[in-house]
């Protein structure tokens, strides 16, 4: 079973700064199966990026995804106040189903 | 635009079972797989399993295989998740989510229910 590791666990930044979040898989994964979600307190997650680099409908272009193989990155180019949240990467595998990374909290410095 | 509306908060005793529902509206229900994901307080997301309503084919995460049953009722566009032999560490918010497996082979969850809090306590 593929294990996803996210780093850092917490990222403390100011509005306007750039955020770079990492997701590393325990073995090489297909980019089609890598997605990123944002979750705010008391809310369900919402998809930001699918297929490693495709923005979901309605997601601002300050969010971008990249990567392949075992290393994937979510970048928020300029943090807006509403972007302070927890971010999860997710992988799908036909054999073992869906796994999520442990999450990265982006909080206000 | 599909909406997923889940049943309300549950409080259960250890050893009992809980059944949570998720009703879909606004889009074709049967053709999309649906999953259940849970989140313990202060913890991350954990996939439990899923079902394709049109075929009733289901699959489960190994961890929950012996205790979870996911079913679908096409007539009411509702998916159910039943978890048995509840323990205190099953206390969590349980979400249903719609799976998307698109023409390009991408997989992700595009719609989520609002979540159902299940508390297991003696």
8 Å CB contact between B28 and B54: no
The reply to whether omega before A8 is within 30° of 0 (cis) is yes
Does B50 sit within 8 Å of A47, measured CB to CB? no
Q: How confident is the model at residue B28 (pLDDT cuts 50, 70, 90)?
A: confident
Closest CA to A3 of A90, A79, A95: A90
Does A37 sit within 8 Å of B109, measured CB to CB? yes
A33 touches chain B (CB under 8 A): yes
Output b/e per residue, A13-51; b: 16+ Cβ within 10 A: beeeeebebbbbbeeebbbbbbbbbbbeeeebbbbbbbb
Q: What is the DSSP letter of A31?
A: G
Question: Closest partner residue to B108 among A1, A35, A103, by Cβ?
Answer: A35
- What pLDDT is attached to residue B13? 98
The count of C-alpha atoms lying within 13 angstroms of the C-alpha of A95, restricted to the half-sphere facing its C-beta, is: 3
A92 touches chain B (CB under 8 A): yes
In whole angstroms, what is the distance from residue A51 CA to residue A91 CA? 10
Per-residue pLDDT tens over the stretch B106-117? 999 999 999 999
Instruction: Output phi, psi for A90, to 5 deg.
Output: -145, 140
- What pLDDT is attached to residue B98? 96
- What pLDDT is attached to residue B1? 82
pLDDT at B38 over 80: yes
Q: How confident is the model at residue B37 (pLDDT cuts 50, 70, 90)?
A: very high
Mean pLDDT of B24-37: 88
Interface test with A, best of B37, B104, B109 (most A CBs within 10 A): B109
Chain B residues in contact with A32 (beta carbon < 8 A)? 104-107
Per-residue pLDDT tens over the stretch A13-61? 999 999 999 999 999 998 889 999 999 999 999 999 999 999 999 999 9
């Amino acid at each position: 079973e593929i294990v996803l590791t996210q780093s850092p666990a917490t990222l403390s930044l100011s509005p306007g700064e750039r955020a770079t979040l990492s997701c590393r898989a325990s073995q090489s994964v297909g980019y089609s199966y890598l997605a990123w979600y944002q979750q705010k307190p008391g809310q369900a997650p919402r998809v930001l990026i699918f297929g490693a680099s495709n923005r979901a409908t309605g997601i601002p272009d300050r969010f971008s995804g990249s990567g392949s193989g075992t290393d994937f990155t979510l970048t928020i180019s300029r943090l807006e106040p509403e972007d302070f949240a927890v971010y999860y990467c997710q992988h799908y595998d036909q054999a073992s189903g869906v796994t999520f990374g442990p999450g990265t909290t982006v909080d206000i410095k | 635009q599909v909406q997923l509306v889940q049943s309300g908060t549950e409080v259960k005793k250890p050893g009992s079972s809980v059944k949570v529902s998720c009703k879909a509206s606004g889009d074709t229900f049967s053709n999309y797989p649906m999953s259940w994901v849970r989140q313990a307080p202060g913890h991350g997301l954990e996939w439990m399993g899923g079902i394709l309503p049109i075929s009733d084919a289901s699959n489960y995460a190994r961890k929950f295989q012996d205790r979870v049953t996911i079913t679908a009722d096409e007539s009411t566009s509702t998916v159910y998740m039943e978890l048995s032999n509840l323990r205190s560490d099953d206390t969590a918010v349980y979400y249903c989510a719609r799976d998307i497996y698109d023409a390009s082979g991408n997989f992700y969850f595009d719609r989520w229910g609002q979540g159902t809090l299940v508390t297991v306590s003696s």
